[in-house]
Structure 1
Amino acid sequence: MGHHHGQDHGPHGHGPHGQGANNEKRVLWAFVLTAGFMGVEVVGGLISGSLALLADAAHMLTDAAALGLAWFAFRVARRPADTRRSYGYHRGQVLAAFVNGGVLIAVVGWIFIEAIARLREPVPVQGWTMLVVAGLGLVVNIAAFAILHGGDRQNLNMRGAAAHVLGDLLGSAAAIVGALIILWTGWMPIDPLLSMLVGLLVLRSAWFVVRESAHIMLEGTPADIDPAALRRTLMEAVPELEDVHHIHAWSLTPERPLLTLHARVTARADHQATLESIKKVLAERFSIDHSTVQIEREACGDD
């Protein structure tokens, strides 16, 4: 039985590519803006008595930590592969996204607990102080979100960071609405009610980030790769193939799909030419630049 393995080692040695360096800078600037304004919002929330502001300040604290973690993950991903981590440190970005999403879910839980307590026992809120601080916060959060939104939208680490900042932006907008309603009507329950509404919106973003990052860490098949369709395409495009089996697809990060498969070829097939044909189809039709292909002439040894 003849076996021939074909590998390309694209993901093993990725350095700080232009897009990665751009993402890193954008996350750092968002971190500076968020951390800088967080203290202002804490003081404003304490003075005004607004749960919406304090909830947003707590959210900004977790966001500052999350953005710092996201930035650190980009830095770590630049480290070259070594003998212990042959794929390098790219998965650090996925781990950071998972942690960030989990922290967001915990923050939403805290906001709901506080909001329910406020609904049972309403607390007076200083509408003008709340309005001014929330207005400043909205400007800062719009700037931070615009910085992150201009980066790589496919990068899960960037999406996790943007989800945090989007939650802050919504929180500031809700606090402004709440302050205006309090100033016009004096109805205090609007403050915790809007906090809960923002919490639900943030929860949705956080859940998507956690679900996708967990799927990647569990070596789940990428959403845009159907193993059955991939097999059919290879069988149609490469005439030397008799069978394609043991197809395993997973992701290092959302932008870096990986694949292994076994390919049984005809008796007269040129192994190297067939291997090159398979890799060409994988790259052109499925955007898979890193694959390991085992060429077989007889029955599969793993069976």
Structure 2
Amino acid sequence: MHDHAPGIRGASNQRLLAVSLTLTATVMVVQIIGAILTGSLALLADAAHMFTDSSALVIALIASIIAARPANDRNTYGYQRAEVFGALANAVILLVLCAWIAVEAIGRLLNPSEIEVEGGLMLVVALIGLVANGVALYLLSAAQKHSINVRGAYLEVLGDLVGSAMVIVAAIVIALTGWMPADALASLAIAVLIVPRAISLLREVFSVLGERAPKGTDVQEIRDHILGADGVVDVHDVHVWQLTRGQPVFTAHVVVDDLALASGRSGALLAQLQSCLAEHFDVEHSTFQLEPAGHLEHDAH
């Protein structure tokens, strides 16, 4: 299923990434200024996250443009894997950022007397970040379901949104009670919340690069559908993987009875199998090798 909603949310991945980059870069500048004026580590950590996200969105945007290039004799599947490498870079950047935030936050907690944060201004800047991240998250929410590259950018913006919420809580605590360690605790919370999403993205990247069956794909169910076609005796050498999120590829050897081959129904059977994969399993790219029953004995397993 694809999102065909009108307006900017239904725009191309490149346009969505460009808009998100503009929002992220603008808020980053605001947060850096706010961090300098307030002395807030949480704002500085969120600004660093924004800077990393800006870099990651640039990577995602470039990868999206490269992925749109047509296939050629050297790259027969095209350049869609560029999205996967862009997502890999995003995940690594997230993990490095989390480590930096954690070290800085622990340092401040061990030396609380050195902390002096202006809670009122900190709250205003954090609210600006929350609104901007909310807009970017909404714009990317539909496209991230079909592109691992956009999903990487989406997860980073989601991390920013949660981070802004944490900064708001810390700012309110500081403004009302004057308890400065709340700033460092908010920074640490940002790191803790980001790590699971980064690891989840890494797992998906390695799943694609390892050519594992896409999540939610039941290979046995696909076998059963193929075996249910009239004239099919057996199916073997089944392989299903994905070039990137939402781009599954399927191949199989299908053993067909002699009557189906002799009657010239091979073309119709092939069209039936390809339609079955497209309609029931959302696999647009499928390749079938039709074989007579005796050919199975000569195949290496």
Asked whether the two chains share a fold, i.e. TM above 0.5, the reply is: yes
* Deviation per residue, 1:23-77 (Å, 9 max, x gap): 2111100101111221221122122111100100110000001111111111111
TM-superposed CA distance for 1:21, in Å, is 5.6
Cα 1:256–1:19, aligned 2, differ >3 Å: closer, same or farther? farther
1:213-233 deviations in whole A, cap 9, x for unaligned?
A: 221111111122222221122
SS at match of 1:79: coil
Question: Which residue pairs with 2:255 in the alignment?
Answer: 264
One of 107, 124, 134 as aligned partner of 1:132 = 124
Q: Determine the C-alpha separation between the residues in 2 that align with 1:19 and 1:196.
A: 33
Which residue, 72, 96, 101 being the options, matches 2:62?
72
Deviation, structure 1 residue 152: 4.7
Q: Is 2:163 aligned against 1:168?
A: no
1:181-206, CA deviations, whole angstroms, 9 ceiling, x for partnerless residues? 01111111111112222222222222
State whether residues 105 and 187 of structure 2, in contact with CA within 8 Å, keep that contact through their aligned partners in structure 1.
Answer: yes
2:295 is aligned with 1:302: no
Asked if the contact 2:9/2:16 (under 8 Å) is kept, the reply is no
Q: 1:169 to 1:82 in 2, by over 3 A?
A: same
Aligned to 1:240: 231
Q: Which structure's relative contact order is higher, taking Cα pairs within 8 Å and 6+ residues apart?
A: 1
What letter corresponds to residue 299 of structure 2 in structure 1? D
Q: Which amino acid aligns with 1:265?
A: V
Q: Which amino acid aligns with 2:165?
A: A
Q: 2:21 aligns with which of 28, 31, 35?
A: 31
Is 1:288 the counterpart of 2:283? The answer is yes
Matches within 5 A, 1:66-215: 66-122=56-112, 123-215=115-207
**Residue 63 of structure 1 pairs with residue 63 of structure 2:** no
| Cα contact 2:9–2:140 (8 A) shared by 1 | no
* Worse-superposed segment, 30-39 or 265-274: 265-274
TM-score (norm 1): 0.89
Cα distance 1:20–1:81, how it changes in 2: closer, same or farther (>3 A)? farther
Per-residue deviation at 1:96?
Answer: 0.8
Percent identical: 41
Match of 2:214 in 1: 222
Structure 1 residue 242 displacement after superposition: 1.2
Does structure 2 retain, via aligned residues, the 8 Å contact 1:20–1:74?
no
SS of equivalent to 1:161: helix
Which residue identity is paired with 1:209? L
Q: Deviations over 1:148-203 (max 9, x none)?
A: 22535232112111111111111112111111101111111111112222222222
Residue ranges of structure 2 left out of the alignment (5+ in a row): 1-7
Please, which of 268, 274, 297 is the counterpart of residue 273 of structure 1? 268
Regions of 4+ moved over 4 Å: 18-21
